[in-house]
Amino acid sequence: MSGGLSATARLALLARLSKRRGGEAPRPEAGSARDFTTLPGMRDYALLKAAMESLAVESPLFRAHDGLAGAHSRIGGREVVNFASYNYLDLNGDPRVQAAARDAIGRYGVSPSGSRITSGERDLHLALERALAALHGAEAALTFVSGHATNVTTIGHLMGPRDIVVHDAAIHNSCTEGIRLSGARRIPFAHNDLGAAAREMAAARRGAQRALLLVEGHYSMDGDVPDLARCIALAREQDAWLMVDEAHGVGAIGPTGRGVAEAQGVDPAGVDLWMGTLSKTLSACGGYIAARADVIDWLRHTVPGSVYSVGLAPPLAAAALEALRIMLAEPERVARLQANGAGLRERLRARGFDTGPSIGSAIVPVILGSSLRTAKVAGALLARGVAVQTVTFPAVPEQSARLRFFLSAAHSEADLDHAATALAEAAASIGRVEHLPGDHLTGDHLTGDHLTGEHQNGLG
């Protein structure tokens, strides 16, 4: 329920709300330049919130978990089967990971108390970066305090106004924000359509100084993967850099969780920039870039998101390092996660649900179409003891509003059975629901980011 509506979508929403409220449509409050309600984004949010309230739909967002969010969790004082968290390998809460974080606090405190370039460097940072570089077969790596900021600052720093970035339409919001910061020309292509990517790159490459091809290793909206070998070939053919965002791929893809390169038997050296996060499988918080040693050395000394930011908190670095060690030492966790993803996908498909192109690993979407129906089904699911994320308009075009099931290695067969049965019951209890007012429009509904109707993937 965030993002900017186009003028046409805003008028349609106002018209529909006006009919519902007896001719009295909500209007942004007029005020001075200091009035935040004059912001288009705030007006749009107020309209969408009013639409939900007028239809008596409870927001599925910001539900507080009472404790550790693993395969099971507690929301509102009751236990639920949890498919709403990124705890893919059940390492958040693992005693070894917790002990590593406690030991780091005992030695270093909670904060490094400075940027790394000045006084915030700790040996934990370097040990973690060596392990992350090895994970991707790269020469070096650099960590950041935020996964989102990793993409924003790295892409914003690497690219410039004379450059182009050709990217999958389902790429994460952090990537599009980084491109916007850089001033480079942003050229999206239809999701996983590398033929379209090749055409776009060929048409734009000649007039650009530098080019970047940008994809994800495991797409968080659809749960599918790119053809990495074709991505590498396209980048080499067009003299472009290739960047792969493995935020959701590490721990979920490949026999030992090393990501899409391992899964597809591709030499990871063909990728120029590997990006990842510490907040999913690695059970901490932050992000990283892995690349050639000279690139990382340059970033360490110049990229604003590192130079002008405090260093990664020692307990987070220690937790991520220990989680990575466990992941590599216990590949059976990865196998269980992948089996659970495939198992849930097949259970849902057998009941007639659209799970899109998901390969059945960490992420299984259920595409319901209507945002209102999606929100209501999520509420009915929670009442049946199943927590799941919703992705609704304008985060995605209305016709592709969905539930997103995030799997864990700790989910049991009984959990999967319960989720599939509960979803069938919840969907049947809700039935057909009309579309959210104005959100039948799937074109330029996302001001400043996706102006051609692509996904606006900004939900982690």
Same domain, yes or no, for 396 and 283? no
- pLDDT in the model for residue 460: 65
Task: Tell me the pLDDT band of 8, cut-offs 50, 70 and 90.
Answer: low
In tens, the pLDDT along 160-185 reads 999 999 999 999 999 999 999 999 99
Would you say residue 450 has pLDDT above 50?
A: no
Q: How confident is the model at residue 24 (pLDDT cuts 50, 70, 90)?
A: very low
Q: How far apart are CA 304 and CA 57, in angstroms?
A: 42
At 153, list the tokens.
């600052």
101, 23: one domain: no
Do 320 and 368 sit in the same domain of this protein? no
Q: Among 282, 307, 329, which residue terminates a domain?
A: 329
| Residue 1: pLDDT over 50 | no
* Residue whose entry in the numeric block shows the structure tokens 């049965």: 421
Distance (Å, whole) CA 379 – CA 46: 22
C-alpha to C-alpha distance for 273 and 136, rounded to whole angstroms: 10
Model pLDDT, residue 396: 78
Residue 223 sits in which domain range?
Answer: 95-329
User: Mean pLDDT, to the nearest integer, of 263-271?
Assistant: 98
Q: Tell me what the mean pLDDT of segment 421-428 comes to.
A: 96
Q: Are residues 157 and 242 in the same domain?
A: yes
CATH number at residue 309: 3.40.640.10
Q: Are 153 and 298 within one domain?
A: yes
Burial grade of 280 (CB within 10 A; 0-12, 13-18, 19 or more) = buried
Distant-in-sequence, close-in-space partners of 123: CB < 8 Å, separation ≥ 6: none
Q: Are residues 343 and 248 in the same domain?
A: no
Does residue 450 sit within a domain? no
- pLDDT for 13: 56
Residue 171 contacts residue 215 (beta carbons within 8 Å) = yes
User: Any residues with CB less than 8 A from the CB of 192 and at least 6 apart, and which?
Assistant: 168, 170, 219, 224, 226, 227, 357
Q: 106 and 199 in one domain?
A: yes
**pLDDT tens string 292-310:** 999 999 999 999 999 999 9
Residue 336 lies in a domain: yes
**What CATH number should be reported for the domain holding residue 379?**
3.90.1150.10
**What is the pLDDT confidence band of residue 459, given thresholds at 50, 70 and 90?**
low
Find the mean pLDDT for residues 243-254: 98
Position with higher pLDDT, 11 vs 100: 100
Residues present in the chain in total: 460
The continuous run of DSSP H or E covering 140 comes out as strand 140-144
> Do both 240 and 338 map to the same domain?
no
Looking at per-residue pLDDT, the higher value among 260 and 395 belongs to 260
Q: Is residue 448 part of a domain?
A: no
Query: How buried is residue 236: exposed, middle or buried, by Cβ count under 10 Å (0-12/13-18/19+)?
Result: exposed
The total of structural domains in the chain comes to 3
pLDDT in tens, 361-386: 999 999 998 888 898 999 999 999 99
More confident residue, 146 or 4: 146
Q: Which two tokens stand for residue 342?
A: 């495939």
Residue 91, both tokens: 């390492």
- Does residue 72 or residue 397 have the better pLDDT? 72
The arithmetic mean of pLDDT across residues 405-429, rounded, is 97
Checking if the pLDDT of 268 tops 60, the result is: yes
Indicate which residues carry an active-site annotation. 220, 248, 280
Whether 108 and 224 map to the same domain: the answer is yes
Is the pLDDT at 223 greater than 90? The verdict is: yes
**Looking at the domain assignment, is residue 62 inside a domain?**
no
Distance CA 187, CA 207 (A): 13
Instruction: Tell me the per-residue pLDDT of 132-166, one tens digit each, with 9 for 90 and over.
Output: 999 999 999 999 999 999 999 999 999 999 999 99
Domain-located, residue 224: yes
Model pLDDT, residue 129: 98
Q: Which of 50-64, 101-115, 256-270, 417-431 has the lowest mean pLDDT?
A: 50-64
Nearest to 100 by CA among 287, 316, 331: 316
Q: Which residue has the higher pLDDT, 39 or 385?
A: 385
Q: Which of 296, 329, 362 is a domain's end point?
A: 329
The reply to whether 215 and 318 lie within a common domain is yes
Residue 449 covered by a domain: no
- 248 and 377 in a single domain? The answer is no
Q: Among 321, 311, 280, which Cα is nearest to 99's?
A: 321
Mean pLDDT of the chain: 88
pLDDT of residue 23: 46
Looking at the structure, tell me whether residues 304 and 412 fall in a common domain.
Answer: no
Percent of the chain exceeding pLDDT 70 equals: 86
The arithmetic mean of pLDDT across residues 230-245, rounded, is: 98
Asked if residue 340 belongs to a domain, the reply is yes
Whether 419 is covered by a domain: the verdict is yes
d(CA 363, CA 280) in angstroms, rounded, equals 12
